[in-house]
Structure 1
C-alpha cells in the first residue's frame, strides 16, 4: 500500500476548496478527505497525490493573502453577497449602460449650459430686426416635392415683402455684405482669395469681436479654456474656423470654407444648392431675381412657421439649382449667428445641439470638417415655447 501522508500536512481552507480536488480526480473517484492525519485512496498514483497537495498549498496561500487584503472576506462576505443577490430583483446596469447614462447626463448639462449662453446672446443682440416693423415676409403655401417646375411651387411671390435696409449700414452688416461676392458658388472650382478679400475678412472679424454678443461668447470660451484670451489670437481662431479654405467632398483642391457654405451658399453639379443658411444673402439674391422662393417646409414633427418668428424652413431655387429644404434664422444679426455657431462648434462634441432661448426650442446642426473647420451649421426649429413661461 502506498501512502501519501507525508504530502498531506495541509488542510483545505474550507469546503469550497475541496471541490478542486474532486474536479482533479474526476467525478467517478471516491470522495476525498483532505485534513491533517488523513490519507488518500491508496490506489491513487504518487504523481496525482503530489499534484493535489501542491494545489492545496497554493489555494491555502491564496486564501491567506485574500484574508489580509479583506479581513471581512470569506464566508461572511460571500453570504452577504449571496443575500444581496437573492434580495435584488433588478440587475445593476452594465458598464456600457452606466457610461451611456453618464454621457446623457453630460449632454443634458452641456445643452442646458449652452441654452443659457444662447439666451444671453439673444438678449444682447442689439442689432436684431423686429418682424412686422423692420422686415415683413409672406409665407404663402407649403413647398411641394423637389423639382424645378412651377407645378410644385407653393409660392407665387417673393418671401420678403419689405426690409428696412438702413440696418445694412451698421458696421457688422456692412462688413458682412462686402464678403458675399468673394466666392465661386460651384463646388470643385478652386477658390482664390485675393489680398483685398483677405482684408475684408479681417475687417469683418474686427467689427464682430467688438459686439456685445461676441464678447459674451468669447468670455465663455476663455473660461472653458476653448479660446485664447488675447483678442488677436481669438480672431486667428475665428479665421481658421470660418475662412480657411478646404476641399469639400469630391474635390481635390480647396474650394470651400465654413463661411462660404453657411452664409453665401454653394452649388453642386449645377443642380443642387448646398449650404445657404443666411437670411441676408437670401434677401439680397431674391431682390436681384436670383432666388425663386417655393414655399415653406414642414414635417410631421415640426411646427407651422410663423411670419412673426425668427426661424423657418423653406424651399427655393438659386442659380438653376434647387434647395429642397433649408433652415434659417430671419432678422438676426451676423454677430448673433457667428457667436452661437462658434459656441456650438467649440463647446459641444455633438453635431446636433439642443438649445432653448426666447420662444424657441432649437436644434443647432453643426458638422465639423477635420475638427478644424465648420462644414455646415444651421438651426432646426423643434417647437415654439409658451410665451408665458
Structure 2
C-alpha cells in the first residue's frame, strides 16, 4: 500500500470508529442475501430468481435522528431521468443547507474537516467549508448528452438516476434503497460477486448487488449498508479532495476497499462508491 493510502486508511478508520449513528447488523437491521444475481442487460432480460426483498428488517427509530431526518427529506427533490433539467426550489435549497448544518456537527465531519484544513484542501471557517461542500455535492451540472443542468453529485450518488428510462446510474445509498424497496419501487435481484471479490456477508457493511428501480435496471451496484449519512458524506468528500487518481485503496475495520470517486469538471462529484476487495482476518 502506498504511503498516501496508508494515511487515508488511518483517517477512514477514525471516521469509522466515530460513526456513532451506524446501525448494527442483525440487531438494528437484517438483510437477506438470497442468491447470486444473473447477467442482466435490460429489464426485458429478467433473470430474477429472488423472491424476497433485500431488507427483512430495519429499526426505523434511527430515522428520527437529526442527520437521517435531514437526509431523507432530500430524497424526493429530484427528477430521476437524466436529460430532465433539475429545478431547485427555495424550499429544497433550505433542505440542502439544513442537511449540511446537521452533518457538520457530527464527529465524522469534524474529523474530516480538521484533516482537510491541515492539508490546505478546505477552509477552516465553517461557513466557507459548508459552501465548499454545497458546491461539490449540490451544485447542478449537465451530464453527458444533456444541454441543461440535470444532475448533481448528491442526486447521482445518494438518490439515483435513470438514463433513457432503462438504465439505473448512481444509486449507491442503502437508506434510499430500503425506502424505495419498502414502497415497492425496488426489485432486488441478488448479490454480485466476481473472481476477485469475497462472498458477501449479511453481518458486514458492504455489498454489491443487482436491482431494478422504476423501469430501469442496475446490473451491478455497490453500497455501504447501515452506515450513517454523515459517514458516507465525510468519506467521499475526503476521497474527492485528497485523491486526484479517482481510485484509492483503503483498509479499515474488517475491510479492504477501493473507493471510486470520479470528478466532474474537477469541481463536482460525478460518482463515488465502495468496491469491496476483501475482508481482513482478525
Query: After superposition, what is the alpha-carbon deviation per residue over 1:107-165, rounded to whole angstroms, capped at 9, x for unaligned?
Result: 81111110000000000000000000000000000001114358611311000000000
Q: Residues 136 and 149 of structure 1: is their aligned pair in 2 closer, same or farther, counting only changes over 3 Å?
A: farther
Determine which of 136, 139, 143 is the counterpart of 1:244: 139
Query: After superposition, what is the alpha-carbon deviation per residue over 1:218-246, rounded to whole angstroms, capped at 9, x for unaligned?
Result: 00000000000000000000000000000
Bigger strand share = 2
Counterpart residue number, 2:64: 169
Which TM-score applies when normalising by structure 1?
0.71
Q: Aligned residues, how many? A: 281
Query: After superposition, what is the alpha-carbon deviation per residue over 1:175-229, rounded to whole angstroms, capped at 9, x for unaligned?
Result: 0000000000000000000000000000000001000000000000000000000
Q: Distance in 2 between matches of 1:154 and 1:259?
A: 32
Counterpart residue number, 1:142: 36
User: Is residue 167 of structure 2 the alignment partner of residue 272 of structure 1?
Assistant: yes
Query: After superposition, what is the alpha-carbon deviation per residue over 1:249-286, rounded to whole angstroms, capped at 9, x for unaligned?
Result: 00000000000000000000010000000000000000
Counterpart residue number, 2:243: 348
Q: Distance in 1 between matches of 2:244 and 2:134?
A: 20
Q: Distance in 2 between matches of 1:178 and 1:285?
A: 14
Which TM-score applies when normalising by structure 2?
0.98
Counterpart residue number, 1:183: 78
Q: Residues 192 and 293 of structure 1: is their aligned pair in 2 closer, same or farther, counting only changes over 3 Å?
A: same
Determine which of 127, 130, 149 is the counterpart of 1:254: 149
Q: Distance in 1 between matches of 2:129 and 2:151?
A: 22
Q: Is the 8 A contact 1:360 1:385 kept in 2?
A: yes
Counterpart residue number, 1:108: 2
For structure 2, the residue ranges without an aligned partner over 5 or more in a row are none
Q: Residues 188 and 151 of structure 1: is their aligned pair in 2 closer, same or farther, counting only changes over 3 Å?
A: closer
Q: Distance in 2 between matches of 1:155 and 1:372?
A: 40
Bigger helix share = 1
* 1:83-162 superposed matches below 5 A: 108-146=2-40, 147-148=42-43, 152-162=47-57
- Structure 1 runs, 4 residues or longer, greater than 3 Å off: none
Q: With a CA cutoff of 8 Å and minimum separation of 6, indicate the structure with the bigger relative contact order.
A: 2
